Structure 1
Amino acid sequence: MGDSLWNSAVGPSSGGTATGGYEKAVLEQYKLCVEMADRVSARRNLTNTFFLTFNSAVVTALAATSGAAWRHGSVGPLLAALVILLTQCLAWLVMMRSYRQLNGAKYTVINALELRLPARAFTGEWDALRAGTVWRRYLPLTYVEQSIPAIFAAAYLVGFFAAVL
């Protein structure tokens, strides 16, 4: 990370910076990176809300309109709903994985910036949690989030086969 993160032309001893200017710049960039990571997390939460709402709407519409079709053995509406639901579960899973990767990259930069700060609060917090390596101590939310679309997809498959068999 070091070579791609740091500008070799600017440093604590480079000319033309006011006293403490370099340190202030590092601190401001650190604050910006932490804020951006927080915004990505907020967008991830909105994405989860969207997909949960979408799931609820499709399942509700399916339940409200397909009762008679189930009794008459028409699999078409159920199959169409299953394809829609499984497709959106896949999209949801891909988006959660993407958000996790994006924040992972941001946290790598934040950790590198902390090397130039007096305290490493963010890194220390993760060290205290053991960075999620002991799941009984801390289970990262991203792992839980990524399992939810898979659980929904499995439930939809079970429901479909239960309805048609």
Structure 2
Amino acid sequence: MNEEEKTKQVRAVLFDVERKDDDPIELLRMFEICVQMADKVSARRQTASSYFLTMSTFLVGLVFGATGADLIDSLTAFFLSASGIAVSVMWSRSVKSYGDLNTGKFAVINELEKTMVARPFAAEWEYLERGESKDRYRPFRAIEIQIPRMFGLLFSGFCAVKAWDAIGGFFCA
């Protein structure tokens, strides 16, 4: 489904209520609620990302610190690193899911905004060249998604080294 079809579908669902006239106060209230909900989704995404960052940082410190001090064996370090990979995957999916949810919310907000005299979000999006110019605008999600990927690569590399140590130790013993 292309963007135009998605917009028509959103508009059809949004204005599916039969009414005699469009009450501007009612539309403004709906608009305010939608904007507040989009802000809340962003806040929840930030809270979730903070949690995943804390978990990942803790696991990195645990794995590297305990391994460096010879407090854990290679197999334990392997499994801790594997859990770090799982955290990174969940974090990436969380970022994508919250971003998709906000994209949907802004589709609704943009449709509601078409009923208003002023359209600040549409004007902002036009100013940002509809996201087509990377010099003018780069979505935060594109940057944010790189952090769990970097942690995932770090954990994957450490996992591979510890697997090699465990296998090498097994064959050399």
Q: Structure 2 CA distance, aligned partners of 1:31 and 1:11?
A: 22
Q: Does 1:4 find its partner at 2:16? A: no
1:6 partner amino acid: F
Name 1:16's counterpart in structure 2.
none
TM-score by length of 2: 0.81
Specify the SS of the correspondent of 2:145: helix
Specify the SS of the correspondent of 1:66: helix
Contact 1:33–1:110, Cα closer than 8 Å, also in 2? yes
Stretch moving more, 125-134 or 95-104: 125-134
Q: Does 1:59 find its partner at 2:60? A: yes
Q: By how many angstroms is 1:134 displaced?
A: 1.2
Name 2:143's counterpart in structure 1.
144
Contact 1:69–1:75, Cα closer than 8 Å, also in 2? no
Deviations 1:35-64, CA, capped at 9 Å, x for gaps: 100010011111111111111111122233
TM-score by length of 1: 0.85
Deviations 1:102-125, CA, capped at 9 Å, x for gaps: 000100000000110001101111
2:155 partner amino acid: Y
Q: Structure 2 CA distance, aligned partners of 1:24 and 1:39?
A: 22
- Identity, % of aligned pairs? 27
Q: Structure 2 CA distance, aligned partners of 1:106 and 1:3?
A: 15
Name 2:7's counterpart in structure 1.
none
Contact 2:82–2:155, Cα closer than 8 Å, also in 1? no
Alignment coverage as a number of residue pairs: 154
Name 2:31's counterpart in structure 1.
30
Q: Structure 2 CA distance, aligned partners of 1:9 and 1:152?
A: 51
Q: By how many angstroms is 1:154 displaced?
A: 1.1
The gaps in structure 2 that reach 5 residues or longer are 1-9, 166-173
CA RMSD of aligned residues (A): 1.8
Contact 2:82–2:156, Cα closer than 8 Å, also in 1? no
Contact 2:82–2:159, Cα closer than 8 Å, also in 1? no
Q: Structure 1 CA distance, aligned partners of 2:20 and 2:150?
A: 50
Contact 2:31–2:109, Cα closer than 8 Å, also in 1? yes
Q: By how many angstroms is 1:11 displaced?
A: 4.5
Name 1:44's counterpart in structure 2.
45
User: Where do 4+ consecutive residues of structure 1 move more than 4 Å?
Assistant: 162-165
Q: Structure 2 CA distance, aligned partners of 1:11 and 1:34?
A: 26
Q: Does 1:80 find its partner at 2:89? A: no
